[in-house]
């Protein structure tokens, strides 16, 4: 009997694929796993998990899961449970479209807050700039001023792909964003060997069709991994209290201590430094609007993600 260490790179119902060095294995897992550091709120194996596999000849079974250094989590659709998108990722490439479907800034802001909460570095990638980027350029500089890295790319023409390759090397990166933004197309363009299925945009609705149905982690020749995830139309935040939301907006975080009241909601109180900064245009109103919606707990469907 031998114990080997590996990284979970795909799930297939009761079976999972694990990368152990240069070897790729399909194995089962014990129903009762040993979760290092304690059982998480969502005790399910996900891509990126680092696991211990007990080998018996050529067969293996996962017996333990190492403590996660990070994980991007959302509230599962239609329920009150946590859904982990990926574990042990270094950064998230948030892929949005410069054309169709229209980039929803509310969804982008929710992704950014989720990354801040998980202590994962977010990188904003605007795909399809070959279709014209005038509309997104009206608001993209807001995020650059805050300090977020923004990549302008085109999977079709190859524009900006060199920067993407350099950003992915030797890191574990989660590709996420709305359906139709071109995540799979971008991965195909950066690493043609993936041969990922590329979807199309519905001419009737202008909304993206889901093409990635299974979360997978791909090993890069240049080192590191990328995880491609299904397109997300919503991102309900998990494990965040209303009074904590301002701490995950970098431009608000530094103003909170200047408010007159320590429990300021930044919505109606006198002497609020955040509201004053919005009035002085030191904080962009749309970002403040996103904060207010999250603070009040508005769901994506109600807010329409503007």
Helices (H), the chain: 105-118, 134-137, 140-146, 161-168, 183-190, 250-253, 273-279, 285-296, 300-303
- Closest Cα partner for 204 from 100, 65, 281, 278? 100
Distances (CA, A) of 287 to 13, 98, 140, 268: 40, 19, 12, 17
Least confident range of 48-57, 65-74, 86-95, 242-251: 65-74
Global pTM? 0.83
Question: Is the domain of 109 the same as that of 61?
Answer: no
Span 184-231, pLDDT tens digits:
889 889 888 665 444 333 343 344 444 443 467 888 887 888 887 665
Question: Which residues have a Cβ under 8 Å from the Cβ of 69 and sit 6 or more positions away?
Answer: 88
Question: Is the domain of 61 the same as that of 208?
Answer: no
Question: Is the domain of 268 the same as that of 187?
Answer: no
CATH number at residue 249: 1.10.40.50
Question: Is the domain of 106 the same as that of 120?
Answer: yes
Residue 43 lies in a domain: yes
- Closest Cα partner for 113 from 302, 239, 226? 239
Per the structure block, which two tokens stand in for 130?
Answer: 């070959």
CATH number at residue 134: 3.40.50.300
Question: Is the domain of 77 the same as that of 183?
Answer: yes
Question: Is the domain of 29 the same as that of 103?
Answer: no
Residue 90 lies in a domain: yes
Residue 235 lies in a domain: no
Residue 166 lies in a domain: yes
Instruction: State the total domains in the chain.
Output: 3
Average pLDDT, the chain: 85
Full domain range(s) for residue 181: 71-228
Contact yes or no for 212/231 (Cβ under 8 A)? yes
Residue 198 lies in a domain: yes
């Amino acid at each position: 009997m031998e114990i080997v260490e590996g990284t979970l790179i795909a799930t297939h119902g009761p079976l999972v694929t694990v990368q152990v060095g240069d070897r790729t294995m399909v194995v089962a897992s014990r129903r009762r796993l040993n979760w290092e550091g304690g059982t998480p709120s969502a005790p399910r194996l996900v891509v990126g998990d680092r696991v211990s596999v007990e080998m018996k000849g050529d067969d293996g079974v996962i017996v333990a899961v190492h403590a996660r250094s990070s994980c991007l989590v959302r509230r599962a659709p239609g329920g009150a449970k946590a859904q982990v998108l990926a574990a042990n990722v270094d950064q998230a490439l948030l892929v949005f479209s410069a054309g169709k479907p229209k980039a929803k800034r509310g969804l982008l802001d929710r992704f950014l807050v989720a990354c801040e909460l998980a202590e994962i570095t977010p990188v904003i990638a605007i795909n399809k700039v070959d279709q014209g980027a005038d509309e997104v350029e009206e608001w993209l500089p807001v995020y650059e001023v805050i300090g977020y890295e923004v990549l302008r790319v085109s999977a079709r023409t190859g524009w900006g792909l060199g920067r993407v390759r350099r950003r992915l090397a030797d890191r574990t990166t989660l590709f996420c964003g709305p359906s139709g933004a071109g995540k799979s197309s971008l991965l195909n363009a950066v690493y043609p060997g993936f041969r990922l299925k590329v979807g199309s945009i519905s001419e009737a609705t202008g909304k993206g069709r889901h093409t990635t149905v299974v979360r997978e982690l791909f090993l890069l020749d240049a080192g590191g991994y990328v995880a491609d995830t299904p397109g997300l139309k919503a991102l309900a935040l998990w494990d965040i209290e209303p009074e904590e939301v301002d701490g995950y907006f970098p431009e608000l975080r530094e103003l909170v201590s200047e408010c007159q009241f320590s429990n300021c909601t930044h919505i109606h109180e006198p002497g609020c430094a955040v509201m004053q900064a919005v009035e002085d245009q030191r904080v962009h109103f749309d970002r403040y609007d996103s904060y207010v919606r999250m603070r009040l707990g508005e769901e994506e469907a109600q807010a329409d993600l503007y």
